[in-house]
Chain A
């Protein structure tokens, strides 16, 4: 099947295929969700500025070129944008058929991380490093795979009209499908990604209409799992410290507590309008770790102030709001589940990332969608935007 076939199958809108449709009046461009698209572009551009501000003086990582990270972030955004276009072009339904392949590739990649090819960054053994400064974090793509895979399984019989809700067997199959990569990611260990995946599963199950027993069962299992992880010392000490320091920053004032405290100082000192881009003393002095990636929000807080940092939250809010509408308004359960998975993913990742810089969530290595520097994450979120657009484009136009 091709994308064009898919469009024709959907049977909505003029039957014209290819790029011309994109630019025709009353066509694809009109049905695209512009608020999401514009917000994503705005966030990526704000991210570019923040990443630049955080790295322009860091000669030890920017190879002496102040624009090194700026250019790369823009490049990543561009590639991400292209991936989005490609995703729209293919359509989420085409991708449903490709799930077995995607799943296989994803699991292979994360297994690769566990081989000597994998690299450890900041304590998380979650990277594959290629030559020439390129590296990949496969767990980012696993998130998409899990969403698509679970949606495919859960929606198959419902969309076929066999049943109103997915039955227990289907749910079990879906959970099994998700469990394999999650276990591998847990072995890395990339705890942040595991948390996101669990939340995604929760969102997917909720949206699929699966029995409440499954939803609460999952929550209970998650709680039990957390306790087990804690008691069985599966986590490294640095990971436990991160949690402990969140609960009590004085516990580890020179380590994680220091980081969270400095992050709070950075954001707090921004005030209403901030110090201006490039003028944040906390940012310039690198008091906050990982400023271009996980802690990028502190740069926004300090240099752009409440206005700028608030704008980021508003833009994220727009994307999530529109995504919720897309989830509600699409006619297929498959699309709903995919959208809900993306919502859970974005929402949790944004809340966890910003929350940890604000001192209300434990520290975990998760990027802020669109804003944080990092290719894998950027590609993954843009693909997700493509999926959302595809669902929106292919839903029936409401009268």
Chain B
């Protein structure tokens, strides 16, 4: 029908038209194929890309909750500060990676250019602090202490400072009410890391890029509660970022407030007294080492005996937690973590461990009763105890003849416990033990909660150590190669010890058990463990898990979630034994090893109980311990390298009791001056607008206390020993174990 010659139609044209037709349709086919490839085959991928394209998140950070003391005084809260931040992504777009801008900025802020640069570099394995360990896409704070003038300079000349912002922001403030700094208890915050964001992505509390995370102390333990929930509004935006619709909006939920059992006033007194005690100890001469005590670290815990609530917890050396706010400077970081720093970040009340010395004797006493020895029996308190060519002495070689266990506790007679522990060791088979040794002394220690965490609400608590048979076997396995290599039969002291350990370090030796019975050797305890034990002695035998958190109260005060005291166990002692021990420990205060520091104390009105301890540490000066309790409180103080328990801590602990009960130096009680004669029961009120009804706070409760003491001492109390110089007699000095002949002790671990 088509090839009609008379119309001029030729086959050539016809063929070409068919070619055109095929070409055209194949082009359309190509488009169809490509369309299928994009929409059907890879459609999901593109749909994902599209949804990421048009949604922008605007994050409204939640205000972090405050940490309050028991009366509602904020010990950590927020304040508005002018924060100058740098955007790394903007800086890196510049030719010199923003160096010029940062140098200019440093000039405006009065900082060194180097410090500013260090703040914006990213942390990695090779980069030491200071560095930024948050997200590189988030503005990095340079300083949060910009003056309004500096902020204005930066804002008005924004073209000179590309990528730099100066905005008011809520930043953490550790207010230190009444100078109570509570640094280790509070902990600190630092920016969230990419790793943490990934990990917490699918949990019920995911992190935002801008989040600050608690790194230690209460800030870390209660991070989830304090942090609140940032508000996220997802906007649909167009290609220019203009908002074209709101996709989803979550209001920011401010973090809850944490009410603690800490009393800022008592905390301040505890911190002050600990520091004073250490200062004074450093002026004291140590006869053994022939130099002044170093008193390089210490801790004190004030705990409610009947609930386990911590009223004060201080660790020395300390630091200012505000150093972390807004990113820590290199100098500060070195000061806090360097080799010369003495590690002020450590909370020595829960992370410092040392041999308990004689404070351990309450455990040994309980163990002896458990093993069948009568509490009121008669046990020889000789001046020394000899076994297999070794002589273990009482501290000053004193002897009291046959005495009861209670009396042995009171005068801290070592030889009584040596004898009992030795007999038990022999009953268990001696150096070649029975298959199932009774091990009363070790089992009792475990029952007292030693060798494991108390479980208080602070992170990274250490366990301490009970050197029982299992531990010895494990420890020997881990170290025998080194011991056997370095050990020499007739070498130096250390070499000889290594030699002995190599031979029989896996076995419970006679000397080990004897040393152990008075808290020397490889035993390690923490101040908080001691507080739990002495608190249990005070309350009739119940051990509590110590707590700092008392309640979590929502920002509007409407929801109150109380944290109840939790019982962790019962002391393995009968009521009768407990009563006997209670009396003995009261005797320590009235006529025993601590009596010289508690003269004039109104014992009839406020009965105090105490046990002193002095732990030997190889190569160092002795660690002092003082564990005490009243009806409601237990106070444990320890100072490393400071001599005896009563000598180093006697005044300080007494001063804390003075503050709690309002006792003057003459023993008079002024209830008005008492900070906390009975534990704080009620919770502070938080109003719906978030404001807190907190009582007025004195500028420095420690100074108030001194003033009180001055007032009363002006009345003249002649009985009181003048000053703080320890003047112990031989009998009321702390006990310590002396080995007369070749010291038979392993390398000691502090």
Contacts and interface: CB of A to CB of B under 8 A. Distances in A.
Contacts of A306: 35-36, 39-40
Interface string A323-342: 01001110111001000100
B16 A305 contact: no
B9 interface: yes
Interface stretch (B44-52, B96-104, B389-397, B545-553): B44-52
B39 A305 contact: yes
Nearest to A320: B24
A264 B24 CA distance: 23
B54 A351 contact: no
A253 to B, nearest CB: 14
Contacts of A329: 1-2
A398 interface: yes
A398 B25 contact: no
B12 A268 contact: no
B42 interface: yes
B25 A309 contact: no
Contact of A281 (B16, B27, B42, B236): B236
Interface stretch (A67-75, A92-100, A200-208, A227-235): A200-208
A1 B695 CA distance: 109
Contacts of B19: 206
A380 interface: no
B433 interface: no
A282 B50 contact: yes
B38 A316 contact: no
B9 A333 contact: yes
A285 interface: yes
A207 B16 contact: yes
B47 A271 contact: yes
Interface string A47-63: 00000000001000000
B21 interface: yes
Contacts of A358: 31, 34-35, 38
Interface stretch (A80-88, A159-167, A369-377): A159-167
Contacts of A9: none
B47 A313 contact: no
Interface in A275-331: 281-282, 284-287, 301-302, 305-306, 309-310, 313, 316-317, 320-321, 324, 327-329, 331
Interface in B1-34: 1-2, 4, 6-10, 12-14, 16-21, 23-25, 27-28, 30-32, 34
A139 interface: no
A222 B236 CA distance: 46
B252 interface: no
B32 A269 contact: no
B244 interface: yes
A209 interface: yes
Nearest to A328: B17
A16 B508 CA distance: 129
A312 to B, nearest CB: 10
B43 A164 contact: no
A287 B51 CA distance: 12
B598 to A, nearest CB: 78
A224 interface: no
Interface residues of B, number: 48
Interface in A157-189: 158-159, 161, 164-165
A272 B28 contact: no
Given A164-B8, A165-B12, A309-B35, A264 B51 contact: no
B81 to A, nearest CB: 37
B189 to A, nearest CB: 37
A208 B9 CA distance: 10
Contacts of A305: 39
Interface in B589-615: none
Nearest to A353: B31
A301 B53 contact: no
A285 B244 contact: yes
Given A282-B53, A284-B238, A267 B46 contact: yes
B237 interface: yes
B682 interface: no
Contact of B8 (A158, A267, A272, A360): A158
B362 to A, nearest CB: 72
A268 B19 CA distance: 32
A206 B16 contact: yes
Contacts of A282: 50, 53-54
A78 B12 CA distance: 39
B236 A267 contact: no
Contacts of B30: 351, 355, 360
Contact of B43 (A269, A343, A347): A269
B7 A310 contact: no
B625 to A, nearest CB: 68
A270 interface: yes
A264 B38 contact: yes
Nearest to A206: B16
A137 interface: no
Contacts of A269: 43, 46-47, 49-51
Nearest to B47: A269
B21 A324 contact: yes
B239 interface: yes
A209 B6 CA distance: 16
A208 B39 CA distance: 40
Contacts of B240: 286
A159 B7 CA distance: 7
A262 interface: yes
A259 B112 CA distance: 45
A159 B30 CA distance: 36
Nearest to B31: A354
Contact of B35 (A286, A302, A310, A343): A310
A268 B43 CA distance: 5
Nearest to A398: B1
A266 interface: yes
B5 to A, nearest CB: 9
Nearest to A306: B39
B2 A328 contact: yes
A207 B20 contact: yes
Contact of A165 (B10, B34, B47, B54): B10
A343 B19 CA distance: 12
Contacts of A287: 53-54, 238-239
Given A207-B13, A281-B51, A265 B1 contact: no
A351 B31 contact: yes
B43 A333 contact: no
Interface in B467-506: none
A340 B4 contact: no
A159 B4 CA distance: 12
Contact of A332 (B2, B7, B36): B7
Most chain B CB atoms below 10 A, which of A206, A281, A360: A281
Nearest to A155: B8
A399 interface: yes
B20 A268 contact: no
A351 B40 CA distance: 20
A21 B35 CA distance: 43
B35 A333 contact: no
Given A266-B50, A344-B20, A271 B27 contact: no
Given A285-B239, A287-B54, A264 B28 contact: no
Nearest to B37: A358
Interface of B: 1-2, 4, 6-10, 12-14, 16-21, 23-25, 27-28, 30-32, 34-36, 38-40, 42-47, 49-51, 53-54, 236-240, 244
13 contacts: A158-B8, A271-B43, A306-B39, A324-B20, A327-B20, A328-B2, A328-B17, A336-B9, A340-B17, A347-B28, A355-B34, A358-B38, A360-B30
By Cβ-Cβ distance, the 6 closest A-B pairs, closest first, are A268-B46, A331-B7, A269-B50, A324-B21, A285-B238, A269-B47
Given A272-B40, A320-B25, 17 more contacts: A209-B12, A264-B38, A265-B53, A267-B38, A268-B49, A270-B39, A271-B39, A271-B40, A284-B238, A285-B244, A286-B239, A301-B39, A305-B39, A317-B28, A328-B17, A332-B8, A336-B13
